[in-house]
Structure 1
Amino acid sequence: METRRRRRAVRLLTAAALLWAASFAAHAGEVEVLHWWTSGSESRSVLELKRLLATQGHTWRDFAVVGGGGDSAMAVLRSRVLAGNPPSAAQIKGPAIQEWGRLNVLADLDDVAAAQKWDARLPAVVASVMKVHGRYVAVPVNVHRVNWLWINREALRRTGARAPTTWEEFFALADKMRHAGIVPVAHGGQSWQEFTTFESVVLGVGGADFYRRAFVDLDPAALRSETMTRSLQTFRRIKDYTDPRAPGRDWNVATAMVIKGEAGMQFMGDWAKGEFLAAGQQPGRDFICVSSPGTSRAFIFNVDSFAMFRLKDPAATRAQKALALTIMQPEFQESFNLSKGSIPVGSGVRLDRFDLCAQESSAYFTATAMVNTLVPSIAHLMAQPAPIEHAMREVVAAYWNNDRMTPDEAMTRLVKVSRPRP
Structure 2
Amino acid sequence: MKRFSKWLIRISIGVITVLFVVNFLVTLYNNTIIEENRVQQLEAERIKITVSHFAIEIIHNIDLGVRSFALFKEEKYLFPLYIALHAKDSLFNVAALALQKQGYNLKEFNRLRDSVESYANLNLHLVELLHQHETEKFMKLANKDRGYRLYLQYDAVVKDINAFEDRIAERAKQRYREAERNNYLLQAILFFIAVPTLVITTYHTYQKFKYEVALRKAEVEKSILLINHNQELERGIQERTKEIEAARDLLQAQHDEILAQHEEIITQNDVLQKQSFVLAEQNEELMRSRHEQLDLYTKSLLEKSELIARLNEEIESSKVTSNGIDQEKLANYNEVLNTTILTEDDWEKFKKTFEAVYPLFFANLRFRFPEITSSELRLSALIKLSLSMKEAANTLGISEQSVKKSRNRLRKRFELSEEDSLEKFIRTL
TM-score over 0.5 for the pair:
no
TM-score (norm 1): 0.21
Q: Which has the higher strand share?
A: 1
**What is the TM-score of this pair, normalised by structure 2?**
0.21
Larger Rg belongs to: 2
Quick check: which one's helix share is greater?
Answer: 2
